[in-house]
Structure 1
Amino acid sequence: MAVIVSAIDEPRSAKLGKALIFMVWLALASALCWSETVWRDEVRALSLALQGDNFIDMLRQMHGEGHPAVWYILLRAAYIVIGSPVVLKILALTIAAAAAYLLVFRLKLSLSIMLLSLFGSFSLFEYAAMSRNYGISMLVIFLIVLSWDKGARNGILLGLLFALLANTNVHSVVLVGGFLAYWFFDLVLARPRSPLTEYRAFATAAAIAAVGIALCFATVYPTFNDTGQNDLSGENFALLALRALVAPSSHFMAFYPNIVLELIVAYPLASHIFAALMSVLIYGSLLALADRRPAMIAAALVLLGLSLLFTLVYPGGYRHQALWLVFMIAITALSPRSQREGAGVADIEAAGGIVRFARLCFPILLALQVVSGIEKVNQAFVVEIPFSRSKDFGAFMQSRPDLKDAVIMADPDYLVEALPYYVSNRTYLLREERFGAIVRYTRNARLSLSLADILKTAHRLRQSEHVPVVILLSQRLDQIAAPVSLRESYVWRLSLTPEDISAFQSATSLIKRFGATAGSDETYDVYVLK
């Protein structure tokens, strides 16, 4: 693991070097942020934040969405000041820049770990260019590290930071548990024994954190997105949990860059090899902490906690999985190699080669994230394939004055969620049969639709609203020659038959077809009802 370095009496050249590194990161992150096309999950959060007449009303209406309130409160407050959807990008980049500043100038990390962490895909793109709530977690985690004084830990301050972290996203509740576990085992394993005042500080922080966790769950549950959870019907709950505990690395395959993931898709047998390699890297990263047992226990518990969450609640994407990397960075900066534990250190050093290899594993994991970051830069500025076609669609709609008042509907419904960032047209949700820009993934909706149903709804809307009706379809109808029933989203289904396709094409005009995207499914054919 990284050797901890001191910032005391840092030479001027080192400070200038760090400033240059930070400016390079800021230039890259800013370019990615402003070039990135926002997609539905980003705009959905802003749409939720702007609900209601005030903050209280907004919080009431977003209850059950699946995320705690901090991101929405920040978005609404920023929108009051700026008054434009661009607050999404400004806020996300500002938060990421603050976290990057702490990473470069304040955290006590080796140069290699700092650089690999800074230019990894999670800190360069996922938590900076992508306007989501997970970047707040990284900032708060680094603030926790800076507030962690081994001599006199402030239970109130750390407790408040833990509570704040728990309300950035549900996954960060697991990280709070990891920090508390680290603190607890650092106390009980310390030699000589820790004084009673330190236990009191821990109890204070734990109590405040518990309040924050309770607030998070009170905001999130019960969720109205009842189809968004893993379907465990017919599954053995104990067996699922056991698999998550035995092989948690299987839930972190997104740590590989796209070039490897594409290889796994092309050659399924390779997936076992790469899964085994990921296990080696993850468990090696934990083993490298063996001379800091509290840190190793905490990192292992966070790994297992996230694995259980991905197994039993809902699958984890890269943005969720990368939180473990951020926690590992924090633990690395937080827990210098010390002799406080005494027993066992000599045995670990005697292991020699194994520990030296283990200490390479986490840097290798971070290096994989840098490769992913390079891929993001390549997609944005070389290949120029957008993450979503929502921006292109907005430009197209601006070029069609005859459609300025059109109602937009889509299948799947969630394709309309990104559109309010670029167009002001009203959007209609087919599954829920209502106007709106926020899809509720509920079973109390039309779970099965046919193309005939979509066409019928379009005719009804044009008759009732007296405006053009634009229909976005993710399916390329001219590529379907036989009856099919397609799964969409979590439990939605769309039925297509040659007869319905012929009737739909006769009643509509295909006015635009958008190309491929990089990383999302937000591309579509655009039809207008004749």
Structure 2
Amino acid sequence: MAVIVSDIDERRSTVLGKVSIFLLWFALASALCWFETVWRDEVRALSLALQGESFIDMLRQMHGEGHPALWYILLRAAHVVLGSPVVLKIVALTVATVSAYLLVFRLKLPLPIMLLSLFSSFSVFDYAAMSRNYGISMLVVFLIVLNWEKGLRNGILLGLLFALLANTNVHSVVLVGGFLAYWFFDLVLAPPRPPLSAYRALVTAAAIAAVGIVLCVMTVYPTFNDAGQNDLAGKNFALLVLSAFTAASSYFMAFYPDRILELVVADPLFARIFALLMAVLIYGSLLGLANRRPAMFAAALVLLGLSLLFTLVYPGSYRHQALWLVFMIAITALTQPPRAGPADVAGTETAGVGVKIGRLCFMILLALQVASGIERVHQFLFTDMPLSRARDLGSFIQSRPDLKDAIIMADPDYLVEALPYYISNRTYLLREERFGAIVHYTRKARLSLSLADILQTARQLQQSEHAPVVVLLSQRLDRIAAPVSLRESYNWLLSLMPEDISAFRSETTLVKRFGPVAGSDETFDAYLLK
């Protein structure tokens, strides 16, 4: 009887502890979500989701944007119900909250890995407070883990989840391949030989996943953001592939906190040292799965697949790189023995020294993400350094009755993309010479502009639209004394000549200078055309 009471008390204390941890996460994520100023990529998705008169019109107009449709469908559906831009934050936080619940209460993970994963930057900020489609990947990955039965797996259910995962973002297609690889190797390498029905389930899941992948590709390509892809002209394809295979860890340097990345950028010696350390941590983390070979092979394939994607298609930011960590968390949960003990179940061996070192490497890697999460909490809750100055500009415009109907244009053009979340003023895209709030990163736009071109366009708009014109410039003109040509975005050029600066400043009034930002380039000076 005493043993039973002790077990019940232990379970109660464990549940209470998990509830407390989950509530702490929710408080942090909610605060970050509420206080974070949305930036252009977040609002861009909402603007795309609200295009057209129906869901079909929206899907037709977003074709070629570069992302599959699931995120936009969720945003449009939520907006139909609430009718407010705040759905951007609500949907993102809701998805993240469900993911966090599964991580804390449902996934079978060692306590240290669960805690480090929960309070990592990707979990508490990038996939929660920042309203992007990558958080859905984490949720679907965790659902896959929960539906991954030890015995005969349900090929239809897992196939549908794979297809769903493939339509969260392009990078998650690699994760789908990783799960299928794990399933395949698990069947091939597992003694005794599994029944034929197990292979049929795999083939069924792979076929459904293939349909999802084709749907993703058809939605994404051909892209109208042709300038956003890596330019491989004049480069040796074979050497690029070889570099992705031999130096995969070099594509994941954003796993370091900002303080370390500042050292990496400042000193070549530090860059080499920390690149070597990252290689040790990443490949060491794979070694932590060495006694579960199917899992190690799958995690390695996902690492190489993402490296190839970063090399050949899109460059990878932290939100993309962290998908590998999510897959590692999932594969760790999948390979946990049913009960703790001196030895694992059949097919896995007791962890050796190398495996233990590998697990330590993975925990250090996750600890670095917690450090990054602490940086985000400090930046966005305890300093006046928002991600974007769009909210401040919105407040300024609303405080000026004379600017209620002002047209807003900017260089770079993408500075206007975050504004529809805060104000309803019309925005004009200089490079594409049209009104709109969604920039097309295309090589068919005006790739080269001068300040004289910007002033001329502003004057034409003022005369044709009979409205005030506000020009946002990321460059501080009073700090430029010599001719300069600046590269912006993927392939834009801006020419600044002293005489053009003088003419621009004489025909405009600097009405507001906005302060620095953290984590983006969305700050600017606001000029009102006289």
The aligned residue for residue 103 of structure 1 is: 103
Counterpart-to-counterpart distance in 1, 2:247 and 2:376 = 29
The aligned residue for residue 400 of structure 1 is: 400
The aligned residue for residue 330 of structure 2 is: 330
Counterpart-to-counterpart distance in 2, 1:253 and 1:9 = 44
Stretches of structure 1 that go unaligned for 5 or more consecutive residues are 1-6
The normalised TM-score by structure 1 is 0.96
Question: 1:503 corresponds to which letter in structure 2?
Answer: A
Deviation at 1:472, TM superposition (A): 0.1
Counterpart-to-counterpart distance in 1, 2:10 and 2:145 = 20
SS in 2 for 1:252: helix
The aligned residue for residue 69 of structure 2 is: 69
Once the two structures are superposed, residues 12-59 of structure 1 have per-residue CA deviations (whole angstroms, 9 ceiling, x without a partner) of 110011001000000000000000000000000000000000000100
Counterpart-to-counterpart distance in 1, 2:151 and 2:465 = 68
Once the two structures are superposed, residues 195-234 of structure 1 have per-residue CA deviations (whole angstroms, 9 ceiling, x without a partner) of 1111011110000000000000000000000000111111
Q: Determine if contact 2:122/2:369 at 8 Å carries over to the other structure.
A: yes
Counterpart-to-counterpart distance in 1, 2:255 and 2:436 = 36
SS in 1 for 2:42: helix
Counterpart-to-counterpart distance in 2, 1:75 and 1:336 = 36
Once the two structures are superposed, residues 323-377 of structure 1 have per-residue CA deviations (whole angstroms, 9 ceiling, x without a partner) of 00000000000012545447xx47x73xx3x332222000000000000000011
Q: Determine if contact 1:192/1:340 at 8 Å carries over to the other structure.
A: no
The aligned residue for residue 443 of structure 2 is: 443
1:261-300 matched pairs, under 5 angstroms: 261-300=261-300
1:31-430 matched pairs, under 5 angstroms: 31-336=31-336, 338-341=344-347, 345=349, 349=352, 352=353, 354-430=354-430
Deviation at 1:384, TM superposition (A): 2.7
Counterpart-to-counterpart distance in 2, 1:280 and 1:271 = 14
Counterpart-to-counterpart distance in 1, 2:236 and 2:33 = 43
Q: Determine if contact 2:226/2:443 at 8 Å carries over to the other structure.
A: yes
Tell me the C-alpha RMSD between the 2 structures. Answer: 1.3
Counterpart-to-counterpart distance in 2, 1:471 and 1:340 = 67
Q: Determine if contact 1:485/1:493 at 8 Å carries over to the other structure.
A: yes
The normalised TM-score by structure 2 is 0.96
Deviation at 1:466, TM superposition (A): 0.2
Deviation at 1:9, TM superposition (A): 10
Counterpart-to-counterpart distance in 2, 1:187 and 1:340 = 13
1:519 matches 2:523: no
Question: 2:128 corresponds to which letter in structure 1?
Answer: A
The aligned residue for residue 4 of structure 2 is: none
- Post-superposition, which runs of at least 4 consecutive aligned residues in structure 1 deviate over 6 A? 7-10
Q: Determine if contact 1:286/1:299 at 8 Å carries over to the other structure.
A: yes
Question: 1:57 corresponds to which letter in structure 2?
Answer: D
The aligned residue for residue 3 of structure 1 is: none
Counterpart-to-counterpart distance in 2, 1:153 and 1:438 = 43
Q: Determine if contact 1:511/1:528 at 8 Å carries over to the other structure.
A: yes
Q: More displaced, 266-275 or 127-136? A: 266-275
Question: 1:512 corresponds to which letter in structure 2?
Answer: K
Once the two structures are superposed, residues 271-292 of structure 1 have per-residue CA deviations (whole angstroms, 9 ceiling, x without a partner) of 0100000000000000010000
SS in 2 for 1:509: strand
Deviation at 1:10, TM superposition (A): 6.8
Deviation at 1:8, TM superposition (A): 11
Once the two structures are superposed, residues 144-176 of structure 1 have per-residue CA deviations (whole angstroms, 9 ceiling, x without a partner) of 000000112100000000000000000000000
SS in 2 for 1:227: helix
Q: Determine if contact 1:108/1:333 at 8 Å carries over to the other structure.
A: yes
Counterpart-to-counterpart distance in 2, 1:10 and 1:163 = 40
Once the two structures are superposed, residues 356-414 of structure 1 have per-residue CA deviations (whole angstroms, 9 ceiling, x without a partner) of 22220000000000000000111112223101000111111111110000000000000
Counterpart-to-counterpart distance in 1, 2:346 and 2:410 = 61
Once the two structures are superposed, residues 304-341 of structure 1 have per-residue CA deviations (whole angstroms, 9 ceiling, x without a partner) of 00000000011100000000000000000001254544
SS in 1 for 2:281: helix
Deviation at 1:457, TM superposition (A): 0.1
Q: Determine if contact 2:288/2:359 at 8 Å carries over to the other structure.
A: yes
Question: 1:116 corresponds to which letter in structure 2?
Answer: L
Stretches of structure 2 that go unaligned for 5 or more consecutive residues are 1-6, 338-343
Counterpart-to-counterpart distance in 1, 2:520 and 2:191 = 52
Q: More displaced, 277-286 or 381-390? A: 381-390
How many equivalent residue pairs?
518
Per the alignment, do residues 335 and 355 of structure 1 end up closer, same or farther by CA in structure 2, a change over 3 Å counting?
closer
Counterpart-to-counterpart distance in 2, 1:9 and 1:277 = 43
